[in-house]
Amino acid sequence: MRGASYNGEKKVKNVGQFDMSALVILAPECESMLAPYRRQYTVDGAVGLPAHVTILYPFCDYKAYDDKLELRLEATLSDVKPFTFTLSRLSRLAQNHVLCLEPSQCDELLTLITSVAKAFPNYPPYGGRIALDQIRPHVTIAASPPTDDLAAVEKEFVESTLPLLPTRVVVNDLWLFLKSNGKWQQHMSFRLGGEKPVQQK
C-alpha cells in the first residue's frame, strides 16, 4: 500500500496555496450537453468546474491538506466498488432556485456521501446548511443567481437537451478539485476500491 510507511507525522502537501477544495464525481458523459448551460448559468461552471455530483463541499484549504488527510480518504474509499447511475429526471432544488438532473436511483451516491462525511466530520456537507439525510445527489444545470430567469433556461433545456436523456454515468474515481484565485482546477483522482490515487498533470 502506498501509505504503508507513513509515520503519523503531519506532512503538508506541496500543492501551493488554495482557498478551498471539493470532492466530486465527474459526469463526463453529459459534459458536452451541460457545459454551455453551466458556464453561463452557474457560478462554479463559469470558473472551471465541469458537470459533477458533489460528494463533499466545502472541503479543506491548503493549511489542512496533508498526507494524513489523503490516507484517510484512500481508506474511506477502499471498500467502495465502482458503480453507475443514470441521470434521467429534471428537477428543481433549493426552493426552486436550482435546476438540475437527478439520478433515477442514487443509493450508491448517498452511501458514498455519507461515508466521506463521516470520515471528515470537521467538513460538514454544504457547510452544515443541509442535513446529511436531506441531501439529494444531482448535477446542476443552472441556478438563480446568476440567472434571474430560471424558467426560460428550463424551457430551453427541455426543448433542446432533455430528449438526449437518460444518460448513464460510470463512476470509478472521486476527484479532488482545488479553488485558487477564483478558479477551480482538477488536482487528483482517488480510485474507488483503494487503488493508488492519480495526480492530475
Residue 201 scores a pLDDT above 60:
no
pLDDT at 13: 53
pLDDT band at 200 (very low <50, low <70, confident <90, very high): low
pTM: 0.89
Looking at domain 20-199, its CATH superfamily turns out to be Cyclic phosphodiesterase (3.90.1140.10)
Residue 12 scores a pLDDT above 60:
no
Percent of the chain scored above 90 by pLDDT? 83
Q: Where are the domains of the chain?
A: 20-199
Q: How far is CA 133 from the centre of its chain?
A: 17
Q: How many C-beta atoms lie closer than 10 Å to residue 69's C-beta?
A: 18
SS (H, E, C) 152-183: HHHHHHHHHCHHHCCEEEEECEEEEEEEECCE
d(CA 104, CA 86): 6
pLDDT band at 31 (very low <50, low <70, confident <90, very high): very high
DSSP class of residue 122 equals T
d(CA 149, CA 110): 30
